Structure 1
Amino acid sequence: MVYELQVITQRANNRLGELINERLEWIKQRGYEVEIICERLDDDTDSLIFRLYLPDRDEGVFRIEDITYICKHQLAEAIAEHIVTAWESRLLWREIQRTCRAFPPGDKARLLSKAEEFMKCCHSSESLNLLMNFGRKSRIASRILGYIEDAPQLVVEGFITFWMQDYLTEIKFAVEVAIEELRNEKEYNDFVNLLRYFVETQPPKIQEVNLLMSSNGVFYLWDSAGSKIDDNYIEYYLEDMLFEEIDLDDVLVSILVTIAPRRIVIHENNPLPSKESVTMIRNVFQDRIVTCQGCERCGQLKGHEAGLRRP
């Protein structure tokens, strides 16, 4: 008695035979003969014929139908792994080509990278990402198992198209997220370039500005003589801050752009907070930025914060 399944799939990145061999190690260890025949149908397509040779009657602990079911289950798991690893990027690229025809090639490549990353890491929690990826693969495997229960052949592309509409919806959503992320990045870069142009074309109101940020994001500004920067710059934005139209980070960037100093000394008494304002300042002012690794003022703030943390 022989159980046979033919799988037709893309040639590129085809490790399906290896995946099946790995999955069926348990069955082979129990003396069952497994045969895998790979054939090239054309330049882009492979045919894989899988055969499991079974005895004519039940022998030992497991019945023939039990071994057959275990085999089908492991085949489904292997094919699901193959779809996720070998087909997912191809499906994402196909969706990008369909919906983003006017995009330049470089942007399409960036979209593919972002969409692939989203499919793997759509959540900030690594554990949740692992769980979601496992769940996606399990859903695909379950659908495959139901299909090969009676079908002797599985054409992967056709199966995805007609049996995995929910998976294709996830693919489409990942591309939409990538498009939005790329658009936001371009808008951000345009804004940074505008601020950079403004800074480069304006005469500096103060030649040097020293910036020190505490661990909670409160900032201190003073000039090269050690004098505090005029509070008028902050008071200008005070009303907007009271009505929550602008936050402290935006105020800091706005003040520095308004002053347009030739040099900004960033004092790092502690690692700077991971804030968008810090990234923005570095992107706008670039080579005008100098980092202080430790001075009297850095030490004073560090000592002050240490005192606040003591019980």
Structure 2
Amino acid sequence: MELFSITVNTQTRSEQECFHRILSDKQKELHKRCKPLKFKFSASGDRIVWTCSGKLPLTSWGVTPELLRHEISEAVAAYIMEEKEQELAARLLVAEFQFQDEEELERVLQWFLLLLEKEDGASAEFHRRRRKELTDSIAACFIESSELNLDGWMTFRMHGYKQELREMAEYAVDEFMLDQQYEEFVSLLKYFVYFQEPLMPLVHVIHKGGEDFILLDGNLKPIEKHEHDELVMEKIDQDMQIEDMVVSTLISVSPAKMVIHTREPELPVILTLSHIFDQRAEICCCCAECSHFLGGMGSSILTVSASPDYNNC
């Protein structure tokens, strides 16, 4: 007898292949556990039907109805997240959030979709919750009926999943706005530095790791934090605060040239310093100062200046 059936209308060849691949993988897995189970795909145009058949009771085969419902529901959830989620996310973002223009909408959408694809970091918990919500909700539908029309279910029954997407969208919009504010602030700092007259010929920025920095002048003497550093930052923008006082100290001494000695040139903080000071900044990974303060020998030298010169490094 037919135990379960899933019907879906596919719009593209990609959707057809995705549905067939995920359900095929799941039926192979189930067949290993319970050989008497039988599976079948049938298609008519864009409409695909997948069925699972077998004799009752399932427990005599070592498979419980609960386990079978859960396994099939997991496969359907995987299909939705892989093939349908981005389209659903885009619709939700457009319908529920206001944007200034099409360009801003497109940028937020790309950031949102990128977060949805990630399964680590801050996105990991969202991903786990969405998959669980889908799996549990589909399994509940199979308790009510052995037949699942996936298109109808996605239209009328996936409220919990859409709420998870909505929370993810809110997080993406907030992160995007923070990122925008950060970019604007860095651009403001860069503009301020560009028009600032150099007050010191050379500054060495020794990056010890993480947010640990040592600032030295051209004679390798420590540069003390100036009392007016905060005033410099306040002059730039009273509404913005920056935790890393390295930036404010560097802006206050306004070096004509700044050499950043680091073993981690791709760190965001290093790239930010390079961006703010632009042509004045150079990144060094291998010189006498690097060896003395950081130990060992680096393998490369990078620069963001138009005319790299490490003679004074």
TM range, normalised to the smaller chain?
A: 0.7 to 0.9
Secondary structure of 1:207's aligned partner: strand
RMSD: 3.7
Q: Which among 24, 27, 30 is matched to residue 21 of structure 1?
A: 24
Q: Which among 105, 108, 111 is matched to residue 108 of structure 1?
A: 105
State the distance in 2 between where 1:204 and 1:99 align: 49
AA partner of residue 91 (structure 1) = L
The aligned residue for residue 207 of structure 2 is 213
AA partner of residue 288 (structure 1) = R
Gaps of 5+ in 1: 41-45, 304-311
AA partner of residue 290 (structure 1) = E
Q: Which among 92, 101, 105 is matched to residue 89 of structure 2?
A: 92
Q: Which has the larger radius of gyration?
A: 1
2:83 pairs with 1:81: no
Shift, 1:253, TM fit: 0.9
Q: Map 1:230-241 onto structure 2 (within 5 A).
A: 231=224, 234-237=226-229
Residue identity over aligned pairs, in percent, reads 18
State the distance in 2 between where 1:27 and 1:294 align: 57
Secondary structure of 2:205's aligned partner: strand
Shift, 1:264, TM fit: 0.9
2:165 pairs with 1:171: yes
Query: Any conservation in 2 of the 1:100–1:108 contact (CA below 8 Å)?
Result: no
The aligned residue for residue 141 of structure 1 is 135
State the distance in 1 between where 2:178 and 2:223 align: 34
Q: Which among 23, 39, 43 is matched to residue 38 of structure 1?
A: 43
Query: Any conservation in 1 of the 2:229–2:252 contact (CA below 8 Å)?
Result: no
AA partner of residue 173 (structure 1) = E
The aligned residue for residue 258 of structure 2 is 264
2:200 pairs with 1:200: no
Structure number with greater CO (CA < 8 Å, separation at least 6) is: 1
Secondary structure of 1:203's aligned partner: coil
Change in 2 beyond 3 A, CA 1:8/1:247: closer
AA partner of residue 164 (structure 2) = E
Change in 2 beyond 3 A, CA 1:74/1:266: closer
Shift, 1:7, TM fit: 1.7
Q: Once the two structures are superposed, what CA deviation does each residue of 1:28-81 show, in whole Å capped at 9, x if it has no partner?
A: 5625442211233xxxxx4222334546x8799539xx6876654443222111
State the distance in 2 between where 1:49 and 1:166 align: 25
State the distance in 2 between where 1:177 and 1:132 align: 10
Shift, 1:222, TM fit: 0.2
State the distance in 2 between where 1:123 and 1:234 align: 41
State the distance in 2 between where 1:135 and 1:100 align: 22
Gaps of 5+ in 2: 233-239, 296-313
The aligned residue for residue 249 of structure 1 is 244
Q: Once the two structures are superposed, what CA deviation does each residue of 1:163-213 show, in whole Å capped at 9, x if it has no partner?
A: 332221110111111111111111111111111111112221223322223
The aligned residue for residue 308 of structure 1 is none
The aligned residue for residue 307 of structure 2 is none
Change in 2 beyond 3 A, CA 1:295/1:235: farther
Change in 2 beyond 3 A, CA 1:69/1:189: closer
The aligned residue for residue 309 of structure 2 is none
The aligned residue for residue 275 of structure 2 is 283
Query: Any conservation in 1 of the 2:5–2:52 contact (CA below 8 Å)?
Result: no
Shift, 1:6, TM fit: 4.1
Change in 2 beyond 3 A, CA 1:148/1:297: closer
Change in 2 beyond 3 A, CA 1:291/1:145: closer
State the aligned residue count: 282
Q: Map 1:175-194 onto structure 2 (within 5 A).
A: 175-194=169-188
